[in-house]
């Protein structure tokens, strides 16, 4: 009887150790997956920052271009010779 209990305890202990090893391996895999996801997130955020920077630069360039067109139109208008005999309206 004592030997039977001893064998049962030994088997239960072996099964518990196996289950613990399985859970620990799963935990380690999940940690690795989390690390990978965080790295991917960081890469995506870096790409998003680059995109935002490019958009801001494009907006600044568009504003500068509009300013240059306006200055060109003003210079054209100032350089135009007006016929003094023509009505202003």
Percent of the chain clearing pLDDT 90 (strictly above)? 74
Residue 83 lies in a domain: no
**pLDDT confidence of residue 3:** 80
Q: How many domains are there within the chain?
A: 1
- pLDDT at residue 74 tops 90: yes
> What DSSP string describes 53-77?
HHHHHHHHHHHHHHHHHHHHHHHHH
Residue 46 lies in a domain: yes
Residue 39 lies in a domain: yes
Residue 33 lies in a domain: yes
Query: Which range, of 3-12, 35-44, 80-89, averages the lowest pLDDT?
Result: 80-89
Residue 56 lies in a domain: yes
For residue 36, the number of C-alpha atoms closer than 13 Å in the C-beta half-sphere is 6
Residue 2 lies in a domain: no
**Domain boundaries, position 73:** 13-77
Who has greater pLDDT, 1 or 81? 81
Quick one: tokens of 64?
Answer: 């500068």
> What's the whole-number average pLDDT of the chain?
93
Give the model's confidence band at 84: pLDDT under 50 very low, under 70 low, under 90 confident, else very high. confident
Residue 35 lies in a domain: yes
Burial of 75 (0-12, 13-18, 19+ CB in 10 A): exposed
Query: In this predicted model, what pLDDT tens digit does every residue of 20-37 receive, in sequence order?
Result: 999 999 999 999 999 999
Give Dmax over CA atoms of the chain in angstroms.
Answer: 129
Residue 84 lies in a domain: no
């Amino acid at each position: 009887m004592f030997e039977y209990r001893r064998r049962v305890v030994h088997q239960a202990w072996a099964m518990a150790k196996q289950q613990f090893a399985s859970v620990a391996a799963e935990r380690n895999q999940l940690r690795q997956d989390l690390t990978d996801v965080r790295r991917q997130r960081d890469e995506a955020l870096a790409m998003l920052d680059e995109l935002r920077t490019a958009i801001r630069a494009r907006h600044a360039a568009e504003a500068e271009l509009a300013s240059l067109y306006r200055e060109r139109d003003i210079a054209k208008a100032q350089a135009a010779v007006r016929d003094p005999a023509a009505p202003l309206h």
